[in-house]
């Protein structure tokens, strides 16, 4: 009886440890709400970027042959301030040292 009791207790302990270790290694999944929120942020940022770039192309001059630190176009507003539009759709004003010459395309 004593031997059966200890072997049963040992088996129960092994099962419990296997179950807990399997649960500890399970990857937590992202909730649906978080996925929707991230996607909405991405869509909103892209929409803002496209809208500001469109407005800049129409209302401001594009500086030919120059590029911003991220490789995008440099715009000049009516106060002669140079800026570019970042990935979130915000205008980032540039210092003269931040403006780079755009390499010419090789054909």
Q: What is the CA radius of gyration of the chain?
A: 29
Is 93 within the bounds of a domain?
yes
Question: Is 51 a domain residue?
Answer: yes
Q: What's the structural domain count of the chain?
A: 1
Helix ranges (H only) for the chain are 2-24, 32-59
The pTM of this model reads 0.65
pLDDT digits 0-9 by tens, 66-75? 999 999 999 9
DSSP conformation letters of 76-98: E-TTS-EEEE-TTS-EEE--GGG
Task: Report yes or no on 58 lying in a domain.
Answer: yes
Low-confidence ranges of the chain (pLDDT < 70): 1-28, 107
Is the distance from CB of 53 to CB of 47 less than 8 angstroms? no
Question: Does residue 28 lie within any of the structural domains?
Answer: no
State which residues form the domain around 54. 34-107
pLDDT tens, position by position, 44-70 = 999 999 999 999 989 999 999 999 999
């Amino acid at each position: 009886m004593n031997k059966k009791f200890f072997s049963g207790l040992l088996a129960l302990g092994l099962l419990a440890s296997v179950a807990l270790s399997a649960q500890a290694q399970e990857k937590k999944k992202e909730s649906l709400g978080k996925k929707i929120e991230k996607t909405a942020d991405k869509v909103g940022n892209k929409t803002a970027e496209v809208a500001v770039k469109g407005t800049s192309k129409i209302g401001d001059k594009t500086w030919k042959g120059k590029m911003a630190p991220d490789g995008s176009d440099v715009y000049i507003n009516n106060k002669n301030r140079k800026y570019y539009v970042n990935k979130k759709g915000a205008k980032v004003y540039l210092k003269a040292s931040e403006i780079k010459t755009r390499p010419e395309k090789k054909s």
